[in-house]
A and B are shown apart, each in its own frame.
Chain A
Amino acid sequence: MQRPWWQRVLLSAWVRPVILVLVLLVIWDLTIRLFRIPPYLIPSPWSVVQQLVAEWPRLLKESIPTTYATLGGFALSIAFGIPMALVIAYSRTVESYVYPLLVFSQSVPKIAIAPLFVVWFGFGIIPKVIAAFMLGFFPVVVSTVMGFKSVDPDMLDLARSMKASRLETFLRISLPQALPSIFAGLKVSITLAVVGAVVGEFVGSNSGIGYLLQIANGNFDLPLMFAALTVLSGIGVLLFVAIDGVERMMIPWHASQRHDLAVTA
């Protein structure tokens, strides 16, 4: 017997986060009223919503370059990150030389070197793509290395005993077993890539959400600033959900997926 429709809605996945958000908004509004916090310190949720609606065309327009830069940086993270991780996972020598340097480079604050990117690459979209890449690269590498290193050694032995070629072993055993880990890293990477794109925009850009944030800041327009931040978070969420969707398609057999589908070939 199927549940009544309103029960199904209440039990669906997206309702609970929305409820939590609403609760948080109410707490935010109450706090501002109770403590009489002035609008130039923290804007009220209602004024943020008003700005969201009023400036919607502009917010949409500015989110396009930011999204491009994010996707570009993310693509570079995959293109460079996964091969590098493969080499690190399969070669002890390379790992011992390269991995510590990679970790060391992570501690360099990207916002300090972002102006240099503008000097080297000009004012176009390239410095923003590179800033997004710099932030999104590390999670991809770390999770991919972990994924390939945790392939079940018994399965590898089995494949070798069956005279599988290295390519076959990789494609049929190592890669599928590493994919869950890789996707976890990709999800972290995309949200960081959004941050990287905005950092790049702060430093040198006349378009994008980062640019809008600077203007809002300079005019003490906190509602617009919060509205832009909301849009930015929205972009992050959408991209995250997209990757989650791809993950469901590619590794439907994994324990982390909810559906009970038939196993792969």
Chain B
Amino acid sequence: MIKRLTLMAAALFALIAAPVFAQGKDKVVLLLNWYVYSEHAPFFLGKARGYYDQEGIDLDIQEGRGSGVTVQAVAAGTANFGYADVPTMIKAASKGAPVVAVGVALQTSPMSVMGYADRNIRKPADIKGKTVAVTPGDSMSQIWPLFLKKTGLSDSDFKTVSGDAQTKLNAVINNQADLLLGYVMDQAIKLQDATHKQVYPIRFADYGVNMVSSGIIVQKDFLKQKPDLVKRFMRATTKSLEEAAKNPDAAVDAMLAANPKSGVKETALVGMKNTAALYKGPDNPNDRPLRVGGKNMDETLALLVEYGGLDKGSAGKATDYYSNDYLP
């Protein structure tokens, strides 16, 4: 009788205690801004090399459906960390979303207007008379007027067609449009993969239009409750980005191993290298990745107020929207 009771007690104890003992690491969900492509390779490298494991983090990387959705998911607590376009996050935050950026990965803008190289559209002046595909409502379409202003173009100089992400790509591939607004390491690579033709991007940053782009965002409550977890995550992520910049090959291999459909090795490598080139901002070239410069953020906020539809009254200061305090 006593033996049986002891056995039952032991079994019960094991059942209850097992999860407690097995729980060594924090389970964390990182929601990306889009389906996996070369920009996300560093996270896969970090996971494969155990940088997150070493910080006691069990990382679950999930594909997103646009930065807007990712920002809303993080604000609602459905994802712990988000990798999303920081200007999009700023727009949501100014409307009350309780989110903040704890690291900015792309400190130089990846935005560009691109087309196939054999069309010889190399300078803004070449855009005249062409057809440009844009996605209404996305961040590039809102900064496009500033690019036009800085390069002396006007809306009447070219034709515009609008469509969603897939339609833009189809339009350029099928010659319905000459150019599209896209990121240098996303759509450019996809266009090349589809037709094996070279793509030439005219970068917004080259013409004085620079806004930060992707970064790590968290919900403010989460930050208050688990600051240590955030610091560990950012330490692992900073190391992942540094290592990916040094070994783009390994990063791409890790990404393709985890997600074979996310690209093709040769072009994903180009994408990864292009991405790493954007980790440095114009005002702080010696800082480690993810640590953004104050002037850069100020400029981004000013651009959002002037062109991004941000209400000046409720915009506040740039420091309301980001913090470098959780970086190594």
Binding site for B on A (CB under 8 A): 38-41, 115-116, 118-119, 122-123, 202-206, 211, 214-220
What are some 19 contacts across the A-B interface (CB < 8 A)?
A: A38-B97, A38-B98, A41-B72, A115-B164, A116-B170, A118-B171, A119-B174, A123-B161, A123-B162, A202-B164, A204-B163, A205-B162, A205-B163, A211-B162, A214-B136, A215-B136, A218-B138, A219-B309, A220-B95
Contact A123 B92 (CB under 8 A): no
CA distance A122 to B174 in the complex (A): 10
Given known contacts A218-B68, A219-B137, A220-B95, A122 and B176 CB-to-CB distance under 8 angstroms: yes
Contact A206 B166 (CB under 8 A): no
CB neighbours (8 Å) of A219 from chain B are: 91, 137, 309
Binding site for A on B (CB under 8 A): 68, 72, 75-76, 91-92, 95-98, 135-139, 141-142, 160-164, 166-167, 170-171, 174, 176, 309
Contact B137 A123 (CB under 8 A): no
Which 7 interchain pairs have the tightest Cβ spacing? A218-B137, A204-B163, A206-B162, A215-B137, A214-B137, A204-B167, A123-B161
Closest residue to A210 on the B side, CB-wise?
Answer: B136
Closest residue to A39 on the B side, CB-wise?
Answer: B96
CA distance A217 to B163 in the complex (A): 14
Contact A217 B162 (CB under 8 A): no
CA distance A50 to B92 in the complex (A): 20
Given known contacts A40-B75, A215-B137, A115 and B170 CB-to-CB distance under 8 angstroms: yes
Closest residue to B141 on the A side, CB-wise?
Answer: A218
Given known contacts A38-B97, A40-B75, A122-B176, A220 and B91 CB-to-CB distance under 8 angstroms: yes
CA distance A135 to B95 in the complex (A): 36
Contact A204 B136 (CB under 8 A): no
Report B82 CB to chain A, min CB distance, Å: 14
Report B97 CB to chain A, min CB distance, Å: 5
CB neighbours (8 Å) of A202 from chain B are: 164
CA distance A116 to B167 in the complex (A): 8
Report B164 CB to chain A, min CB distance, Å: 5
CA distance A36 to B71 in the complex (A): 19
Given known contacts A40-B72, A115-B170, A204-B163, A218 and B136 CB-to-CB distance under 8 angstroms: yes
